[in-house]
Structure 1
Amino acid sequence: MTDNRKYEAQKREYEDPHEDVAPVPWILLLIIAGLFSWGAFYIFNTHFRYAATVGDHRVPADFAVPETEGGDIDGHQLYVAQCVACHQATGAGIPGVFPPLVGSEWVLRKPEVLVQILLHGISGEITVKGNKYNGVMPEFRDKFNDAELAAVATYLRTELGDNSVDPVSVDLVKAEREKTADKTDHWNGDADLAPMEE
């Protein structure tokens, strides 16, 4: 190829692209300057009412479950902390997903069965008030001590159930815990719990 033909080929090519200078719009610069000025004005003219030393000085003991006036543990607070997400604040549960506790036969009949449910949880199909549920309820044997389990069970039976029933005692919880101390898995719904009701 001759030099003349090279030159003709180069003349047919487009120039290499390049960026044009695109300055920031002046209106945007005015907005930024206005925001900066307002922020500076706000910071220098705000009078904080609290000293810098004020803050959250709570310790883990402040989050412990409080006791009621009689020295008993507040079962309602334990219920709110651990059970409300599934069974709701009213204990009505979520239809088709989480069973209700209000009026539940498992809550109101034998307190021993309720304690076993709290201790070891449930997996598999369970019938509550004529409706079938199939899910998993966690166990609380390692999370709650005997007094806390008794408080939750009592709250479920009296406040969400029938306030004429007797409270669940710590001794009953202790006995039920010892009776199934070797159990490490969940109860299998109706299949395991129904025989306990007999």
Structure 2
Amino acid sequence: MSDSLFNQQRREQPEPHEGSRPVPKIVLTVIGLLLLWAVYHLYSSFNPMPASLGDDRVAADFAVPATADGGQLYTANCVACHQATGAGVPGVFPPLSKSEWVDAKDPGVMIRILLHGIHGPLTVEGVKYNGEMPNFSKFSDEEIAALVTHVRSSFGNTASATDAKTVAQVREETKGQQEPWKGDEDLRPLLGE
């Protein structure tokens, strides 16, 4: 029985163990050759892009314009309700296209609406709307002037432009207005009807 046990033990390989066995030289050689090939490949395939392939923009092309853009302000703040065409949503949000409030002779009417908002019934082109219009008093005078000018000259409207000085004057005149305008009740007299 001892012979069979001895034969069985001879067939088995010794258990692996860590020790001071060095990494085989062939493995180190392969790693070294791969590293040399990588360095050579990067060096030989390096091709700096010529400036002629660029897009010719300079830092000034990325500067934000100092003046407010009424179209951008409209897109960011008004499109959700009044739509991209200025047609509004029938029965819900009034149109801005050919609206008596937008085409008013005095741009101060629209400025007042933007500065303080509206709460309550407002008639636009003979259709009564009863909702809320938020105020945009957070906008600077320049931004409100740009937005008013944009709306008054878009969507088929041909009213005159306005400027920041006019907005500042209306802001000062209406600084006591703490609540939104009460629709037709407060605003209709401004149209001179």
TM-score class normalised by the smaller sequence: 0.5 to 0.7
Query: Structure 1 residues 121 and 161, CA, compared in 2 at 3 Å: closer, same or farther?
Result: farther
8 Å Cα contact 1:118-1:140 kept in structure 2: yes
- Runs of 4+ aligned structure 1 residues displaced above 4 Å come to none
Report the counterpart of residue 192 of structure 1 in structure 2: 186
Percent pairwise identity: 52
8 Å Cα contact 2:107-2:160 kept in structure 1: no
For the pair 1:77 / 2:72, whether they are aligned, the reply is: yes
The offset of 1:160, in angstroms, is 2.6
Residue deviations 1:77-98 (CA, integer Å, cap 9, x gap): 0001001110011110000000
Choose the corresponding residue for 2:121, options 111, 122, 125.
Answer: 125
- Where 2:128 maps in the other structure, the secondary structure is strand
Measure the CA separation in 1 of the matches of 2:181 and 2:173. Answer: 14
Instruction: Name structure 2 gaps, 5 residues minimum.
Output: 1-63
What code does the residue aligned with 1:191 have? E
Residue deviations 1:163-182 (CA, integer Å, cap 9, x gap): 4x321111110000000112
The offset of 1:161, in angstroms, is 4.1
Measure the CA separation in 2 of the matches of 1:106 and 1:173. Answer: 16
For the pair 1:135 / 2:131, whether they are aligned, the reply is: yes
Report the counterpart of residue 11 of structure 1 in structure 2: none
The offset of 1:162, in angstroms, is 2.7
- Where 1:135 maps in the other structure, the secondary structure is strand
Report the counterpart of residue 114 of structure 1 in structure 2: 110
8 Å Cα contact 1:126-1:190 kept in structure 2: yes
Report the counterpart of residue 168 of structure 1 in structure 2: 162
Measure the CA separation in 1 of the matches of 2:75 and 2:111. Answer: 18
TM-score, length of structure 1 as denominator length: 0.62
The offset of 1:150, in angstroms, is 0.2
Report the counterpart of residue 39 of structure 1 in structure 2: none
What code does the residue aligned with 1:159 have? S
8 Å Cα contact 1:75-1:155 kept in structure 2: yes
What code does the residue aligned with 1:102 have? S
What is the number of equivalent residue pairs in this alignment?
129
Query: Structure 1 residues 116 and 101, CA, compared in 2 at 3 Å: closer, same or farther?
Result: same
Instruction: Name structure 1 gaps, 5 residues minimum.
Output: 1-65
What code does the residue aligned with 2:113 have? I
8 Å Cα contact 1:120-1:140 kept in structure 2: yes
**Where do residues 10-29 of structure 1 align in structure 2 (5 Å cutoff)?**
none
8 Å Cα contact 1:106-1:114 kept in structure 2: yes
Choose the corresponding residue for 2:175, options 177, 181, 191.
Answer: 181
